[in-house]
Amino acid sequence: MAAPGEFPLHRPAVWVNCAASLDGRLALAGGRRARLSSPEDLVRVQNLRARSDAILVGVGTVIQDDPSLRVHWELLDEPPGREPTRIVVDGSGRTPEKARVLDGSTPTIVATSERSRRTYPGSVQTIVAGRTNVDLAELFPMLYGLGIRRLMVEGGAQILASVLRARLFDRFTIYYAPVIVGGATAPPVVAGRESHAAEEMTSLELVALERLGAGYVVTYVPSSPAPVQPPAP
């Protein structure tokens, strides 16, 4: 187990990626998984995964979707290569015992907090970063210290909130599917705290916009910290 402070104060290059409906939802009512990516977007995502040293998700996504977090090489026009390390952010040890990420098939890290007493199979490395929640600003330099240089963050809504609002990213790509989910319980792209004033919003800069199959892909970088001004009335 790694202790805070053992690693240099660098962090990996962080690429955040998700698929959303036109009304900005990540999933169906209550968080039920929605297959929002088009076939073309699935290939784009697998390319991103294949070029990452690690893929990170929150425990909410593991509980809801049970993803393998492996590269689907069959969708890429190349032979199978090295699998990225799987990272689950799980502050209290809620990862189900039978979750696919704990199957030992590829290197896996559970990033947890001091409040967790959970133990994991021997194939899983645990990293403690933070007292109650996982402190991502503490975790990312630890991952860099483990040799992870390109980190892909795939969600869900709470993790996206933490990474985007703390500006712990270099690229943020959303695939917008031409569908509307609606309702009140489908998770938004970004959950977490409310913004009550314009200066509490997080500013991004658009760097690319392209059509992909039936949908479109938008890429942003963090903008300068200047607050976004509300539109004139």
Ligand X SMILES: NC(=O)c1ccc[n+]([C@@H]2O[C@H](COP(=O)([O-])OP(=O)(O)OC[C@H]3O[C@@H](n4cnc5c(N)ncnc54)[C@H](OP(=O)(O)O)[C@@H]3O)[C@@H](O)[C@H]2O)c1
Under the rule (CB under 6 A), what is the footprint of ligand X? Answer: 18-19, 26-27, 31, 33, 36, 57-61, 64-65, 89-92, 94, 133-134, 136, 154-159, 162, 187, 191
CB of 79 to ligand X, least distance (A): 27
User: Tokens representing 159?
Assistant: 């993790």
Q: Nearer to ligand X by C-beta: 85 or 158?
A: 158
Q: Nearer to ligand X by C-beta: 59 or 148?
A: 59
Give the C-alpha separation, 185 to 27, whole Å.
9
CB of 36 to ligand X, least distance (A): 5
H or E stretch at 45: helix 39-50
CB of 51 to ligand X, least distance (A): 18
Q: Nearer to ligand X by C-beta: 50 or 101?
A: 101
Q: Which residues contact 180 (CB under 8 A, 6 or more apart)?
A: 21, 22, 23
Q: Nearer to ligand X by C-beta: 15 or 229?
A: 15
Q: Which residues contact 217 (CB under 8 A, 6 or more apart)?
A: 41, 44, 173, 174, 175, 176, 208, 209, 210, 211
